[in-house]
Amino acid sequence: MIANTGLLEQLRATLRPYGAQLIAVSKTKSKEAILEVVATGQKAFGENYVQELLDKQALLPTEIEWHFIGHLQTNKVKYIAPFIHCIHSIDSQRLLVEIDKQAMKFGRIIPCLLQVHIAREETKFGLSFDEARAILDDPKTTLLKHVRIIGCMGMASNTDSAEIVRKEFRELKSFLDAVSISHPDMVELSMGMSSDYKLALEEGSTMIRIGSSIFGERSYSPVP
């Protein structure tokens, strides 16, 4: 056994009362490990590099719903547009425009989440709250008929302080609640990973992205 399928059951039980969805983050993991997890009934998988996703998508069952969770370059959108289920990492309007253009070619509407920078670290990608709001309120965004912005994604600080992590998640939830008044499609909150998903659930997450707890620690991080 490559994946921790017992823990997967436990995770699902934890999520159930919250009605949240589990995204199994399979980056760097083998096709065999993914198939083990698919066999437990898991459909949603997350990847963060386009080439790796394409390699896996070509070989794995078509019923898998692939979520893109990493930084996405506009010139790579065309490769994933035919099949991607949801893109969690929108960090510019330019990217949305490109996704719209490519989705149109395939007669698709691609669900997208605005990635908001909530962590203290400076290195992580993402929009400020003001930038996210500006994208939502821009009439040019409203013209995009082949993307649907359904919520926000955020990564909390990498810290042992539950207090800081909780506060960051809470800020993202407040933002979502505020913008959803004028943008009723905004309902999803993608937040929480192996180390902080319990806090994320308590703070209103609807999609948690779990990698290492399911698949074990990653031995390397590929460079994009």
Q: Could you list the residues that contact ligand PLP (CB under 6 A)?
A: 25, 27, 48, 69-70, 193-195, 209-213
Encoded tokens for 41: 């009934």
Q: How far is the CB of 28 from ligand PLP (least distance, A)?
A: 9
Distance CA 190, CA 155 (A): 9
* Residue pair 151/206 in contact by the 8 Å Cβ criterion: yes
* Residue pair 131/144 in contact by the 8 Å Cβ criterion: no
6 vs 137, beta carbon nearer ligand PLP: 6
26 vs 102, beta carbon nearer ligand PLP: 26
Distance CA 95, CA 127 (A): 12
56 vs 209, beta carbon nearer ligand PLP: 209
43 vs 101, beta carbon nearer ligand PLP: 43
* Residue pair 73/98 in contact by the 8 Å Cβ criterion: no
**Which residue number has the CB closest to ligand PLP?**
211
Q: How far is the CB of 27 from ligand PLP (least distance, A)?
A: 6
DSSP tally for the chain: helices H, then strands E: 10, 8
Q: How far is the CB of 68 from ligand PLP (least distance, A)?
A: 10
Q: How far is the CB of 216 from ligand PLP (least distance, A)?
A: 9
Q: How far is the CB of 105 from ligand PLP (least distance, A)?
A: 27
Q: How far is the CB of 146 from ligand PLP (least distance, A)?
A: 24
Residue 183: count of CB within 10 angstroms of its CB:
18
Burial 62-88 (b: 16+ CB within 10 A, else e): eebebbbbbbbeeebbeebbebbbbbb
CA distances from 160 to 80, 157, 163, 164, 166 (A): 35, 9, 9, 9, 11
27 vs 183, beta carbon nearer ligand PLP: 27
71 vs 101, beta carbon nearer ligand PLP: 71
